[in-house]
Structure 1
Amino acid sequence: MFQTRLEETAAQVAAHLTHVLDGYPAHPVTDAMRYAVQGGKRLRAFLVMESAALHGVDPQQAMQAAAAVEALHAYSLVHDDLPCMDDDDLRRGLPTVHVKWDEATGVLVGDALQTLAFELLAAEQTHNNADVRVALVASLARASGAHGMVLGQAQDIAAETAGRPLTLEEITALQANKTGALICWSAEAGAVLGQADPTPLRTYATALGLAFQIADDILDVEGDAAKAGKRLQKDADAGKATFVSLLGLDGAKQRAKTLVLEAEAALSPYGDAAENLREAARFVISREN
């Protein structure tokens, strides 16, 4: 059920983003935007759709928010791959945007996808209550900006020149910003759309986001580059501290499993209706990409 739902969500979000981008002027930048949003697990979109379903939200409204976070996530990947950042030439098994086009196009595509996210959330079809739309816009801005994802990226860059490896506490805080903030926003979005208390979903997503990053660190060590669709062992090559380097491989795997149990427990108020979200928590530590 979970895998089917994940795949359905991925296909629906891809179709929605294609529909939206078809309304944009024909231009190499919009071609590159379409390229940048293709593929991926769509886990963040899945979290939006499932959390919205828990609160009886219209799926079409939820799809607007799901597409928004996927557009913003795609922007972050395009910029993360740039030569001034991680300088990666492969993403999701395909050449990165700046490799397929050029660096300037990569910058502009990221900018355009970021603004697309907020355009989607601000649209009337996202919710008939303007206060709800403003809450979604404001919370995504905070999660993705200098309070969240961008801060985490800046902390990651600073760590490379710090002259010492990060401590476990420091890397946990860094990843809560860089990876966890958008995952939390995605899980809470359904409650915001349903005008309900997001606290249980926030607790769930905080544990989920950290488990997701630990799994990424494990994949970087023992994953298959062909399945991952990107270059592996970058952190080890750069001498960066990771959950694996700090906890050991077995310790990192055990910590991820504990976090999954915490995430599952946080969903108890929703009963069986949250089973897909529980499966998502198990999925993040068993995935191969």
Structure 2
Amino acid sequence: MKRADFEHWVRSELDAVESALESWVPADSPAGLGVAMRYGVLDGGKRVRPLLVLAACEAVNGNREAAMRAACAVELIHAYSLIHDDMPCMDNDVLRRGKPTVHVQFGEAQAMLAGDAMQALAFEVLTPDGDAVPAALQARLCSLLARSAGHAGMAGGQAIDLASIGKPLDEHTLRDMHHRKTGALLQASVLMGAATGIPTAGQWDALSAYGDALGLAFQVVDDILDVTQASETLGKTAGKDQDNNKPTYVTVLGLGAARRHAAELRDKAQAALARSGLANAAWLSLLADKVVDRDN
């Protein structure tokens, strides 16, 4: 598979996701709420999670309508989490995706409401009327997304993160935190895409292992970029974790070891993908490389 083909696929799918989000995130919500929601999710971000959903759907020849809805739903959950994480009561950041954070632009109360509304909208998007997405698939997608975003996943990981400021963490505890905070939603993206088709039990397990390794690799690379790239490249405040005395893979392992660990996790993800035996998994393979080789 040529790199140019992959880049064309990425551009095409990003345009499709942006168009769907444009249509599903309302501009006319009361008192400017829709404006804040659209500011928080449109025109920015790498959209790795939606791409994973769509690539996994293609790998299993799944339901495209369900996959697009899942891709947008997972991005809405991710964007809502960023809005809340950036607030003064959490990470207190002022820059996200190269522009002022939502609470800086619209105030803390509106940012909180925008995040709340986007979380609810994610599940509304997953449960359309009609027969395009069967009810059983709607329920499966909602279950996967809710579990990855809640106390056992993203929210639980953020709670550990906030409780760990200034405290030494061993690698096992750090891994658990990031498996929940970052990895769970990335893994769920892969599995939501897979759920739109009919994978075998072995293929499901292999894709789960792929998503698990890739989710952790994403966070390791994030920690590396936080200390090696400028804010202009990242689109967010560089060095924030170090300034906040937060434990990261770089502080626990060291920069060189963190880079090696990211490469090991990519290899683990690729090996799991190979085990799946899926004939149409090229985009998933190339996405694993894209996640680890990125510079923002």
Structure 1 equivalent of residue 135 of structure 2 = 130
> Are 1:227 and 2:259 an aligned pair?
no
- Change over 3 Å in CA distance of 1:2–1:270 after alignment to 2: farther
Normalized against structure 2, the TM-score is what? 0.93
1:32 is paired with a residue whose SS is helix
Between 29-38 and 191-200, report the one with greater CA deviation: 191-200
Runs of at least 5 residues in structure 1 that lack an aligned partner in the other structure = none
- Change over 3 Å in CA distance of 1:126–1:278 after alignment to 2: farther
For 1:202-251, what per-residue CA distance to the aligned partner results, in whole angstroms no more than 9, with x for missing partners? Answer: 10011001110000000011012101001011121222221111111111
> Are 1:214 and 2:214 an aligned pair?
no
CA distance in 1, matches of 2:247, 2:130: 44
For 1:35-83, what per-residue CA distance to the aligned partner results, in whole angstroms no more than 9, with x for missing partners? Answer: 1112111110001001011121232221011011011111000001111
CA distance in 2, matches of 1:127, 1:167: 47
Q: Which stretches of structure 1, 4 residues or more, deviate above 6 A after TM superposition?
A: none
The Cα of 1:272 is off from its aligned counterpart by 4.8
Structure 2 equivalent of residue 109 of structure 1 = 114
Report matched runs for 1:134-145 at 5 Å: 134-145=139-150
The Cα of 1:99 is off from its aligned counterpart by 0.5
Work out whether residues 143 and 181 of structure 1, in 8 Å CA contact, stay in contact via their aligned partners in 2.
yes
For 1:19-44, what per-residue CA distance to the aligned partner results, in whole angstroms no more than 9, with x for missing partners? Answer: 11247546411011111112111110
Work out whether residues 98 and 106 of structure 1, in 8 Å CA contact, stay in contact via their aligned partners in 2.
yes
CA distance in 2, matches of 1:156, 1:94: 24
Work out whether residues 61 and 126 of structure 1, in 8 Å CA contact, stay in contact via their aligned partners in 2.
no
Structure 1 equivalent of residue 171 of structure 2 = 168
Q: Report how many aligned residue pairs link the two structures.
A: 287
Structure 2 equivalent of residue 4 of structure 1 = 8
The Cα of 1:7 is off from its aligned counterpart by 2.4
> Are 1:285 and 2:292 an aligned pair?
yes
> Are 1:84 and 2:96 an aligned pair?
no
Work out whether residues 59 and 278 of structure 2, in 8 Å CA contact, stay in contact via their aligned partners in 1.
no
Work out whether residues 36 and 97 of structure 1, in 8 Å CA contact, stay in contact via their aligned partners in 2.
yes
CA distance in 1, matches of 2:51, 2:99: 23
Work out whether residues 120 and 126 of structure 1, in 8 Å CA contact, stay in contact via their aligned partners in 2.
no
Normalized against structure 1, the TM-score is what? 0.95
Residue type of the alignment partner of 1:80? D
> Are 1:120 and 2:114 an aligned pair?
no
Work out whether residues 217 and 265 of structure 2, in 8 Å CA contact, stay in contact via their aligned partners in 1.
yes
Work out whether residues 221 and 232 of structure 1, in 8 Å CA contact, stay in contact via their aligned partners in 2.
yes
The Cα of 1:6 is off from its aligned counterpart by 2.2
Structure 2 equivalent of residue 205 of structure 1 = 211
For 1:90-118, what per-residue CA distance to the aligned partner results, in whole angstroms no more than 9, with x for missing partners? Answer: 10001111111100000000000000100
RMSD: 1.6
> Are 1:236 and 2:242 an aligned pair?
yes
2:112 is paired with a residue whose SS is helix
The Cα of 1:127 is off from its aligned counterpart by 4.9
Report matched runs for 1:237-256 at 5 Å: 237-256=243-262
Runs of at least 5 residues in structure 2 that lack an aligned partner in the other structure = none
CA distance in 2, matches of 1:261, 1:15: 34
CA distance in 1, matches of 2:86, 2:8: 30
CA distance in 1, matches of 2:163, 2:265: 27
Structure 2 equivalent of residue 59 of structure 1 = 64
Residue type of the alignment partner of 2:171? L
CA distance in 1, matches of 2:66, 2:28: 21
The Cα of 1:271 is off from its aligned counterpart by 4.6
Percent identity for Structure 1 against Structure 2: 42
CA distance in 1, matches of 2:278, 2:148: 28
Structure 1 equivalent of residue 105 of structure 2 = 100
CA distance in 2, matches of 1:70, 1:263: 22
For 1:128-158, what per-residue CA distance to the aligned partner results, in whole angstroms no more than 9, with x for missing partners? Answer: 4212211111221111000100000000011
CA distance in 1, matches of 2:14, 2:58: 16
